[in-house]
Structure 1
C-alpha cells in the first residue's frame, strides 16, 4: 500500500456515526465506528514505531510515537461532518494553523502537525495532570482513534463535571475566536458559573480592585483570559486529584457525565475545552506494546480567519 493512503477513510455509508450532547453544557461529541479503511495496517504501523515519553510527559500517562502522515482527509471529515453541521461553524473562510497569528511556535506546535500514537503505561502515582480531569488547553478539537483489538478493549474516554461548582467546560484563552464559537462557549452553564460564582469567590478573597479586575478583561474574540483560565483551573483542581486509581467511576468530587468505550477502529471527536480523562485500569491490559491501550491522536488548532497561506 502507498504510504499516503494509510489513513484512507471508509465511505460514509460504511461508517456508523453517532452524535450526542453531553452534560449540562450540551457539548456535542461525535463517535464514529468503522472509521478507517485499513485499521489493521494502521495498528501494525503504530506498533512498528519507537515510543518514548513525550515533551510535557506529565500530560500523558504513558509513551508516545509521532509520524508525519497525510491526514488531510481526516481534517476534511472533521470540518464537513462535525464542525459545520454540529457546531454550526462556517469553516469556508477559516483554516487551522499549527501556529496562530500573534503567537510563536512552541512545544505544542508539533501536536497540530504530526499524528501521535499513544500507549497508556503509567501507574496511578505518575502523570498527575493526565490522571486528573483536565482540558487540553493547547488545542481546539481532539480526534482519538482506538487501535486496541476487540479482546483488549476496556475502559474509554470519560467526560466529567466538577460536582461542587457544576463546571464541565473551561473556555480556552485563545484570541480571535469566531463569533459562533464564542457564542457556544458563552451559552454554557459553565460560563455562567465561572463569571458568577468562581470570579465572585476570587474577588471576595483577593479584593475587587482595578489591579485584580484588569486581568479578567477580555481582548477581542476572547471568551476567557489566561488569568481567568488559571483561576478556574486552580479552583476546581487544586487538592482534587483522585486518591486511588484513574477515574473509572464517579466519586464525591467528580461526576462522570458520559463515557465513550474503547472499540477497535472507533473515532471520538470532542472539543478539548470539555473536562475529560481516560478510564483505565492496569489490570485491563497487558505489559507489551501490542497489549496496551493504543490510540491514534490528532488535534486541530483554533481556527483563524482567511485562506490558508
Structure 2
C-alpha cells in the first residue's frame, strides 16, 4: 500500500512538472497587448503585418535557438522548403485566436471566416546561410501552401542579424497571384489552354506546378539564395515584407510567395515560427 502511494505521488509530481513546462512554454507564445497592425493587399486579399506580436519574444527566440533542427530530415518531408524544422507539440492557442480575430476577412471574398480549424503544434523553422549555395533550383521559386487557408509567420531572427523578407508574386503570363483550391471559369479556361484538366485533382496540381517550374531555368541560376527579390520575365514582385524581430506576417496560403534570404556577409540563420490555419 505504501509502495503504491509513493508511486502515485511520484507520478503526480512528474505530471505537475510536465504541466509547469507546458504552461511556461504557452506563456512564451502569449500575444502582447500592443499590436501595431498594417496591411498590404494583393488583388483583394489582405496581408496583415503585426509588429510587437509577442509579450516575451526574446525568451521565445532563445528557446527556438536551442532546438534541434537536425531531427526531421526525411526525404521530401517538407517538399521544397529550403530550411529545417523543429516541432513542439503545444498549440499556440491564444496567439492563433488573436490572429483570427485580427485578420480582416470582411475585406475579401475568397476566404471563409466561418470555418473551424485544426489544432496545430508550434513549428519553428531555420534557414542556414551556409545551405543557400546548395539549394535546388525549385527551392528558389515562389510556391503555394496547399491545403491550408492562412499562414502566420513570426520572425525571431535576433535584432542586428539579417532576417530576410517574404516576397509575394504575380505570374506574368497568366496574371495570377492567387490560386484557389477550386478553379473559377477563367482559371479553368487558362488551365485548359495549357493542356491540363482543371476539374481533375491531378490535372489542376500539374497546372500549378507548370506555372511555378516551367521557366525556372531562365532565372534560378542567377539567385544567390531563396526567393526572388526583384521582378523578372516570369514573375512580378508585388510586395516584399521585410523581416523584423517580433514581426508577425499573416497571409492567404494560396498567394504565390517565398522566403527571400540571400547569401552575404551575415552568418546567422533566418529563424521563424510558422502557423498554418488548416480548415477541418
Question: What is the match of residue 100 of structure 2?
Answer: 79
Which of 78, 81, 87 is 1:60 aligned to?
Answer: 81
Question: What is the match of residue 110 of structure 1?
Answer: none
Shift of 1:71: 0.8
Q: Secondary structure at the match of 2:195?
A: helix
Alignment partner of 1:47 is 2:65: yes
Question: What is the match of residue 198 of structure 2?
Answer: 216
Shift of 1:96: 1.0
Q: 1:69 to 1:2 in 2, by over 3 A?
A: same
Alignment partner of 1:5 is 2:27: yes
Q: Secondary structure at the match of 2:194?
A: helix
* Aligned equivalents of 2:45, 2:88: Cα separation in 1: 30
Task: Extract unaligned runs of 5+ from structure 1.
Answer: 99-112, 174-184, 204-214, 219-224, 305-309
Q: Number of paired residues?
A: 247
Question: What is the match of residue 147 of structure 1?
Answer: 156
Residue pair 2:61, 2:158 contacting (<8 A) in 1 also: no
Which of 241, 249, 255 is 1:274 aligned to?
Answer: 255
* Aligned equivalents of 2:24, 2:208: Cα separation in 1: 47
Question: What is the match of residue 159 of structure 1?
Answer: 168
Q: Deviations over 1:73-105 (max 9, x none)?
A: 12211221116444476645x31126xxxxxxx
Normalising by structure 1, what TM-score?
Answer: 0.72
Question: What is the match of residue 265 of structure 1?
Answer: 246
Q: Deviations over 1:178-236 (max 9, x none)?
A: xxxxxxx85xxxx73x2233322317xxxxxxxxxxx5347xxxxxx442232232144
Question: What is the match of residue 232 of structure 1?
Answer: 208
Which of 15, 18, 40 is 1:20 aligned to?
Answer: 40
* Aligned equivalents of 2:41, 2:89: Cα separation in 1: 32
Normalising by structure 2, what TM-score?
Answer: 0.79
Shift of 1:172: 2.2
Question: What is the match of residue 179 of structure 1?
Answer: none
* Aligned equivalents of 1:116, 1:299: Cα separation in 2: 9
Alignment partner of 1:250 is 2:231: yes
Shift of 1:128: 4.0
Q: Which has the larger radius of gyration?
A: 2
Task: Extract unaligned runs of 5+ from structure 2.
Answer: 1-22
Which of 130, 135, 154 is 2:144 aligned to?
Answer: 135
* Aligned equivalents of 1:264, 1:296: Cα separation in 2: 11
* Aligned equivalents of 1:142, 1:284: Cα separation in 2: 30
User: How well do the aligned residues superpose, as a CA RMSD in angstroms?
Assistant: 2.5
